[in-house]
Amino acid sequence: MIAGVVGAAALLLVIAGAGKVVDPTRTVGALRAVGWPASGLLVRAGAVGETLLGAATLTYGGRVLPLLVAASYLGFALFVMTALRAGTPVATCGCLTRADTPPSVTHVVVNGLLAAGAVAAGATDAPALLDASWPAWVVAGALTAYVVLAFLAAAPGRTQQDERRAAGGVPPQA
């Protein structure tokens, strides 16, 4: 079953990483809002690493890859905690690129739980999801769907003008 948890964490890395490779603007904006260095190139490079780590973990498992997944989620949690503590208005965490999901305590909890699951997988040498039994696939699919749908449901509605403004194309109205 723990293979399903780390499988979900890895699938989310692939989904979020691929989205940031295609459109890094939200993540760049979120990082800049809290004073962290950011550029499209830097975010894309990190997103490629995120995607490859997720894919490798799904394929190979083992002890080291899940621990790297855990480190990724701890880094995400650190970013969200930094944004929350600073009180900086960050419109989106950048994790799912298009949806407007402001950083919240829920983000910290989800990242922490995914990190804990990845540590458990590394500690027990859990199999890669591709080598795991069908119940692990069910767990991975359900957890992935739940996390994605929960964050999309939490996103407030946006207009096309909001989208252009967030991308830097429309100045804010006074």
Q: Is residue 167 part of a domain?
A: no
pLDDT at 170: 46
Residue 117 maps to a domain: yes
Confidence (pLDDT) at 104: 81
- Mean pLDDT lowest among 36-40, 148-152, 162-166: 162-166
Q: Note the pLDDT tens digit of each residue in 9-46.
A: 999 999 999 989 998 988 898 888 888 889 999 999 99
165 assigned to some structural domain:
no
Q: What is the DSSP letter of 157?
A: P
Which H or E run contains 29?
helix 25-33
The answer to whether position 43 is within a domain reads: yes
pLDDT of residue 174: 45
- 169 occurs within a structural domain: no
34, 174, 51, 15: which is closest to 102 by C-alpha? 34
The reply to whether 161 falls in a domain is: no
Domain that holds residue 99: 2-154
How far out from the chain centre does Cα 7 lie? 14
Residue 162 resides in a domain: no
For the segment 70-128, what is each residue's pLDDT rounded down to a tens digit?
999 999 999 889 888 887 767 676 666 555 567 788 889 989 999 999 999 999 998 88
Q: How many domains does the chain divide into?
A: 1
Q: Is residue 106 part of a domain?
A: yes
Residue 163 CB: number of other CB atoms within 10 A? 13
Instruction: Give the residue-averaged pLDDT of 50-60.
Output: 95
